[in-house]
Structure 1
Amino acid sequence: MGPIVIQRVYDHAPARGAVFLVDRVWPRGVRKDDLRLDGWLPDVAPSKELRQWFGHRPERFAEFAERYRAELAEHPETVEPLLAAAEKGPVTLLYSAKDTEHNQAVVLRDHLQRAR
């Protein structure tokens, strides 16, 4: 099993292993040619309704995380490509949120680590 790390898409740091964009919406100002991706998985991201409710407000993060984990549990097939890639080696989850501590990639990484 490889490590699962998260990285902000705008950081321009080289990503390790299999690289997946885990946002529902393509990041602003980023051309598709600029990212070396093994996949874009918009369906693994929080629903539009949950994303809009959260609004990247840190005081809502705990409830957001709980609701997002419930969405992931309802659709376990969405994380299968990530778990399969982690079986083979390192995985990097790219996200575009400014807040590096309160975002869906943090919740998704923790969910994947528990699922292994």
Structure 2
Amino acid sequence: MTGRNIRLRRVYDPHEPEADGVRVLVDRLWPRGLSKEAAAVDEWPKAVTPSGELRKWFHGGGSAEEFRRRYEAELAEPGAGAELERLRAMAGAGPVTLLTAVRDPASSHAAILAEHLAD
């Protein structure tokens, strides 16, 4: 859980309609082995997900600190800025749950995105 009505969860966790609010997938790729119905995703704003190039770089051995720097640079781009504002507005109206397939959402790009939404 983070501030300002923003939660972090794994997309594979069961949907909690009362607590989740708007469910936003923040991964560039659709999660393996999960149907759209089971995921119950409301939004998939790819402009705020890490680029394919950044993902490949990180999985090739990039550092977490440099990943953060590069991802924050991507979030500063105009297309991402508009989506960030839209997601902030959603969070201002009620709960928003950022969904990711990673095992530990609190130490992933989703946590970095949540920080930017809380600003």
Q: Is the 8 A contact 1:61 1:102 kept in 2?
A: no
> Match of 2:51?
47
- How well do the aligned residues superpose, as a CA RMSD in angstroms? 2.1
Deviant stretches of 4+, over 4 Å: none
> Match of 1:73?
76
Q: Is the 8 A contact 1:2 1:88 kept in 2?
A: no
Q: Is the 8 A contact 1:20 1:39 kept in 2?
A: yes
**TM-score, length basis structure 1:** 0.85
Amino acid at match of 2:73: A
Q: CA deviation at 1:13?
A: 4.8
Q: Aligned match of 1:16 in 16, 20, 28?
A: 20
- The number of residue pairs the alignment matches comes to 113
Q: Is the 8 A contact 1:56 1:103 kept in 2?
A: no
Q: CA deviation at 1:84?
A: 1.6
> Match of 1:64?
67
**TM-score, length basis structure 2:** 0.83
1:17-72: per-residue Cα shift (whole Å, max 9, x none)?
11111111000000011122221112210111111111186x71111111111110
Q: CA deviation at 1:90?
A: 1.1
In structure 2, distance between residues paired with 1:78 and 1:71: 12
Q: Percent identity?
A: 44
Q: Is the 8 A contact 2:26 2:98 kept in 1?
A: yes
> Match of 1:4?
6
Give unpaired runs (5+ residues) of structure 1.
none
In structure 2, distance between residues paired with 1:51 and 1:70: 14
Q: Against the structure 1 CA distance between its residues 92 and 56, is the aligned structure 2 distance closer, same or farther, given a 3 Å change threshold?
A: farther
Q: Is the 8 A contact 1:56 1:102 kept in 2?
A: no
